[in-house]
Structure 1
Amino acid sequence: MKLSRRHFLAGGAACAAIPVVTIATTGSEAEPQKENLALVFDQTKCIGCEACSEACREANNVPEGVSRLNIVREGPLGEGDDKHYRFDRQSCVHCETAPCVSVCPTGACIRDEKGVVDVVANKCVGCQYCIAACPYRVRYVDPVTKAVDKCDLCRKTRLKEGRAPACVEACPTKAVVFGDLNDPNSEIVQVLRAKQTYRDKVALGTKPKLYKVPHGKGKVI
């Protein structure tokens, strides 16, 4: 499916309600790469400590004033003993059909052999087409390098060392699960088979790979 810049700029402004789905299968016969890396964020386990954000910043030398990963707090909700908060994760979702890759004029935006969407900084000219095209609004211009940056699943740091992303290792409640969707025995596949999950803005056809286990109280919007 070829995605035009105009299609995504228009589609990002008119998104339907997020569907809640159950994942029972993995991968695709058309999937070319040996690995297809993804994340599950469990809203029922997140306590809003932001250890993930701090670990991400330290591992990837993210400058002050910008962030690859944000935890959004909603609440308090409910009353009395039922008072609670909801937490959501905002970061790159590593689309299988990534609009940023389609619109980049220099080839700086890539999707590698493991399915990780990344930015090659020395190819980025700062045109910000990818920022405009991204319907998830998770990209920014690095104030130091002046190149566009975002979550790359620690591709150039932790993954290069054979480790999980910093956010996964830092989470005290194990709210973040990382793994290969093409491996039927991986932890992430087992979680997706066992739990109800949803993905943001699936109607746009981006095929995002950040799955979320919805909070047990209240509806997913």
Structure 2
Amino acid sequence: MPLCRLVQLNKPSTEEIVGVLNFIAENEGIQLHHQLAYKIASSSQNNLRQAIRSVEATWHTNASLTEDQDIKTGWEDKIANIAKKVLEEQSPKQLYIIRGELQNLIEHNVAPEFIFQTLKEELKKILPEQLQPPFHHLYDEYQYQKNHTGKKYLPHAHQEDELGERQNDQRKNVRKFLRIEEFIARFMSWYKGFVAKDLVFCADQQVHGG
């Protein structure tokens, strides 16, 4: 006779998350619009912890939480910091540090697509104007290669139960995070090359009195 029993816990429904968000908002004295609560619950992909984090981050941005409020995830600053580190130093050591920060985002179930898009926007903010066109070219080239090379993972959904599908989603997310790390490594190499060229140009100008 088994001494323990496996219990599978399903994700909370959107309505359940909205109920929790409204409860928290009421107790914290936050005016949370009902439609915004639904949007936050939906965007969190039924992750209650992320939904609560989004309410807090959005509220800190604008204390008046209206229906059309832009939803924050609370991870924007973390990703912006990664972008700054990428430009501060291009080395294996720095890449290792960034890998740890990406791992932290994985553990908190932050969507890879959100990280990639936010990282791209943050890098654009920091890069000088003359590097914007080649950066867009680098990004577009990387996206093209990602979509047209490598074997696609095709799970046998009919052979998997709900737990198996969830594990499959986790494996897919890990692959996506590895793609983000690969892009960062490629960006580092690209950016370091431009910096080196710029230093050579400046030195040449000094030698020739430019």
Q: Shorter chain as normaliser: what TM range? A: under 0.3
Highest Rg: 1 or 2? 2
Higher strand share: 1
Compare relative contact order (CA 8 Å, sep 6+) and give the higher one, 1 or 2: 1
TM-score (norm 1): 0.21
